[in-house]
Amino acid sequence: MKIVGVTACTVGIAHTYMAREKLISAAENLGMEAHVETQGSAGMENQLTEQHIKDADIVIIAADVAITGEDRFHGKAVVKVPTNTAIQTPESLLRTIQKKLQVAN
């Protein structure tokens, strides 16, 4: 499964970056490919490319606030969760999404 993600939280200091780290570690553990963009106090980092988005099977938006550039994902399957879900149970989140995608296809 190829994943692109965006993380953002209220103050933009801690949870945004923890959620990214957890999603990437979980994806690696499960043999998936993940590119995750952070929208925090330091601005937008690890920005997703058009190619990343085009290749992705799923878009995960782990955010507690509205994100910038959601229109980039038009036509893609998008899953939205709070940052805490990505931080606390990243592997089960990815596994659940994978199962749902398999059923859908």
Partner 1 sequence: MNDLIKDNINLHADVKTRKEALYQMSVMLEKNDVISDKDAFYAAVLDREAIGPTGMENGIAIPHGESDVVKDAAIAVFKTNQDLKWDSLDGKPIKLIFMLVVPTQHRDVNHLKILSHLSAALTHKDVQQQLLTENNVTDFKKILEKSGGM
Task: Print the binding letters for residues 57-96 with partner 1: x by CB under 8 A, - otherwise.
Answer: -------x-------------------x--xx--------
Angstrom distance (rounded) from CA 2 to CA 68: 21
- What are the residue ranges of helices labelled H in the chain? 15-29, 50-55, 83-88, 90-104
Q: Compute the least distance from the CB of residue 77 to partner 1, in Å.
A: 26
Task: Print the binding letters for residues 45-64 with partner 1: x by CB under 8 A, - otherwise.
Answer: x------------------x
Question: What three-state secondary structure class fits 2?
Answer: strand
Does position 13 interact with partner 1 (CB under 8 A)? The reply is: yes
Residues 1, 95: contact at Cβ < 8 Å? no
Q: Is 9 annotated as catalytic?
A: yes
Does position 30 interact with partner 1 (CB under 8 A)? The reply is: no
Angstrom distance (rounded) from CA 50 to CA 21: 22
The residue ranges that bind partner 1 (CB under 8 A) are 10-11, 13-18, 20-22, 25, 38, 40-43, 45, 64, 84, 87-88
